[in-house]
Amino acid sequence: MAIRLLTALLLLTAVPASAQQPDALHGRVLMELRAFTDWLDRYDVQGYIGEVGWPDDQRGDAAEWNALADAWFEQADAAGLWVTYWATGEWWGDDYLLAAYEDLDSSGGVERSNTQAPILEANLGPGRGIVDAGGEFGYAPTTERTSPFSNRNPGRYDRAYHYDSAATFEFLASRGIRLVKIPFRWERLQPRPGGRLDRDELGRLRAVTDRAGTAGLDVILDMHNFGAYYVARDGQGVRCAIGQRACSIRDFADVWERIAKAFRATDHLVGYTVMTEPVAMKRVGNRTAPEVWRRGSQAAVTAIRRAGERDATLFVSGYHWSGTHDWSRWNPEPWIKDPSSAIRYEAHHYWDRDHSGHYGHSYDEEVANAS
């Protein structure tokens, strides 16, 4: 706590006097976070911000973004939230606005701290860490109806996507980080819904988990599929949302039972995000899309516990991008029943005006928009 307060004081000396007091953007962002934490308090459940990120100094306004981040973490601390920052990874290069740690030459692992790192490092502790991206890379889509990507064309490893090296995890550990979230794609791990896990991809996931564990890091595995699976049809991938015939709730439960069985003896694995940012799902019968997600996520939780994975924390995302700003609209009340009582509801929080994380505007422009 003393380190965080010292960091805040140093930041304030670097920020113009006009920016030292909370502004309209502070007000909006903290209100959005409070909307989520108030929901957690109302129902006495636990929460997790699976993704939060803000820009570096490419526009010369890192101090302002960092001051907002420090205020955000103070509120997250008060709410007891787990948090993983978005993001780092060997394939981001040195020009991604949100990369807290960067790989300068793409040869020896992540090796340099960016301007967000002091805030992140001042707010570490249990349940705090970073997303190590790359396993979800390639041309893997989000909500596009069709895509070249599919279960038959998932991209070649180390050309389309990548899991980071031991050097990256050792560097992160040297910065005090003890938790990493590692995304993967369902289509690569299970080439046919309801079928066996792919031996090679499962080996890669085990290996990267072991690399992180050897460096002293705990791991969250993250199915980064946005509520759907891309099935090959007529030479292209067709998006099949969970609950449809080609990607049923039973299929979703099946893959998680298989994953849980494969990883249940892994000491440094602390849990699973059962699906990142479920969105654009379909009505099934008389169930709305959010209701289908609630039924599907419950099936996944039940399957993981049935597989004998009783200790892992399960992170269950809210429907419709999991945003804090409209959380209760899409997720009116908690829905998961877990015999292990180890659930954290997962929200994401980006502070740009459209909550996309693209940050196409400067800090001052975002303040003006929020005013």
CA atoms within 13 A on the CB side of 169: 22
pLDDT of 34 above 90: yes
| Residue in 25, 20, 21 with CA at minimum distance from that of residue 366 | 25
pLDDT for 14 equals 43
pLDDT tens figures, 184-199 = 999 999 999 999 999 9
In a domain, 18, yes or no: no
Tell me which amino acid residue 217 is.
L
pLDDT of 12 above 50: no
| % the chain with pLDDT above 70 | 94
Tell me what the mean pLDDT of segment 151-165 comes to.
Answer: 97
In a domain, 323, yes or no: yes
In a domain, 265, yes or no: yes
pLDDT for 21 equals 55
Q: What is the 3-state secondary structure (H, E, C) of 14-56?
A: HCCHHHCCCCHHHHHHHHHHHHHHHHHHHHCCEEEEEEEECCC
Cα separation of 64 and 15, whole Å? 6
In a domain, 30, yes or no: no
Tell me what the mean pLDDT of segment 194-217 comes to.
Answer: 98
Tell me what the mean pLDDT of segment 326-343 comes to.
Answer: 98
Residue 2: which pLDDT band, with cuts at 50, 70 and 90?
A: very low
Which two tokens mark 307?
Answer: 């597989």
pLDDT of 340 above 50: yes
Tell me what the mean pLDDT of segment 25-49 comes to.
Answer: 98
pLDDT tens figures, 99-137 = 999 998 867 899 999 999 999 999 999 999 999 999 999
pLDDT for 322 equals 98
In a domain, 27, yes or no: no
Cα separation of 172 and 93, whole Å? 16
pLDDT of 215 above 80: yes
Residue 11: which pLDDT band, with cuts at 50, 70 and 90?
A: very low
pLDDT for 10 equals 40
pLDDT for 265 equals 86
Tell me what the mean pLDDT of segment 284-296 comes to.
Answer: 97
pLDDT tens figures, 62-73 = 999 999 999 999
pLDDT for 13 equals 39
CB 225 within 8 A of CB 293: no
| % the chain with pLDDT above 90 | 91
φ/ψ bin of 235: left (φ > 0), alpha (ψ from -120 to 50), beta (otherwise): left
pLDDT for 15 equals 42
**Boundaries of domain holding 170:** 2-13+39-370
In a domain, 34, yes or no: no
CATH number at residue 177: 3.20.20.80
pLDDT of 259 above 70: yes
In a domain, 25, yes or no: no
Tell me what the mean pLDDT of segment 218-232 comes to.
Answer: 98
The domain tally of the chain equals 1
In a domain, 139, yes or no: yes
CB 162 within 8 A of CB 135: yes
